[in-house]
Structure 1
Amino acid sequence: MQAIKKYVEMRKIYHLSTCNTCQRIINDLDLHHEGFEFQNIKEKHISAEELDDLAKKEGSYEALFNRRAMKYRSMGLNEMDLTEDDYRKYILSEYTFLKRPVIIIDDKAFVGNSKKVIAAAQGNL
């Protein structure tokens, strides 16, 4: 029974409430009025199950990984060859490594803030 319920009209956004880019995108797409569940990833980290589900939608954990995070260079990750397991581990251990915003509309995920991604999300509202 749970599998049937999984993709019935899911609308969720993973974001940082202090991120101006996330807030601009939420306002530009008028997501407050679209019935979205909001999850501030600083206050409530993404769960392993949620991350695994996103990785399936996106095709990899690397696609969800934020290389612009300040800690990426400070931890020396830019000098390492990271595996999928590494990407998963770092995203789960530090919220800043999740590329954002992540907009879930039904069974589709829109990850990041590029114009192309945001336009695709808008087209699926």
Structure 2
Amino acid sequence: MKKIYHLSTCDTCKRIRTELELSSDFIFQDIKTEAITVSQIEEMQDLAGSYEALFSKRARLYKERDLKNKSLSEGDYKKLILEHYTFLKRPVIIIEDQIFIGNAKKNGRSCQTS
């Protein structure tokens, strides 16, 4: 399976999505219009190793809720990601049994060589 979880209004996600559409047969899921399911987040966690690895600490709600000053468990990260799409670090790209999270350059290089 080749899948990308993205936000259609995010310029970085748009750029990456455009690049991948030109060369691959990915399934695209806009997380704002099609919410992430429990089974999807659990699959991502299995590949990533933790829910925290999938969690965006740059989300506006993270700051508004003052979550940096709270001790969050893996269950909390999962619940927050399922509660609101902005808590998922994006894009999340799954290629077979590999996962690439976020837009760090090292992730992009890894995807291109896969």
1:11 maps to which residue? 2
Asked whether the equivalents of residues 20 and 26 of structure 2 are also in contact (C-alpha less than 8 Å), the reply is no
2:33 to 43, 49, 55: 43
Report the secondary structure of 1:57's partner residue. Answer: helix
User: Which ranges of 4 or more aligned residues in structure 1 deviate by more than 2 Å?
Assistant: 29-33
Report the secondary structure of 2:5's partner residue. Answer: strand
Paired letter, 2:9: T
TM (normalized to structure 2)? 0.95
2:60 maps to which residue? 70
Q: Deviations over 1:26-66 (max 9, x none)?
A: 22x33354111100000011111010111010100000000
2:96 maps to which residue? 106
1:59 maps to which residue? 49
Aligned residues: CA RMSD? 1.0
Count of equivalent residues: 114
- Over the matched positions of the two proteins, sequence identity in percent amounts to 48
Q: Tell me the CA shift for residue 118 of structure 1.
A: 1.1
Report the secondary structure of 2:99's partner residue. Answer: strand
Asked whether the equivalents of residues 4 and 92 of structure 2 are also in contact (C-alpha less than 8 Å), the reply is yes
Q: Tell me the CA shift for residue 76 of structure 1.
A: 1.2
TM (normalized to structure 1)? 0.87
1:3 maps to which residue? none
Q: How far apart, in 2, do the equivalents of 1:76 and 1:68 lie? A: 12
Matched, 1:25 2:10: no
Paired letter, 2:4: I
Q: Which has the larger Rg?
A: 1
Is the alpha carbon distance of 1:40 and 1:32 closer, same or farther for their aligned partners in structure 2, counting shifts above 3 Å? farther
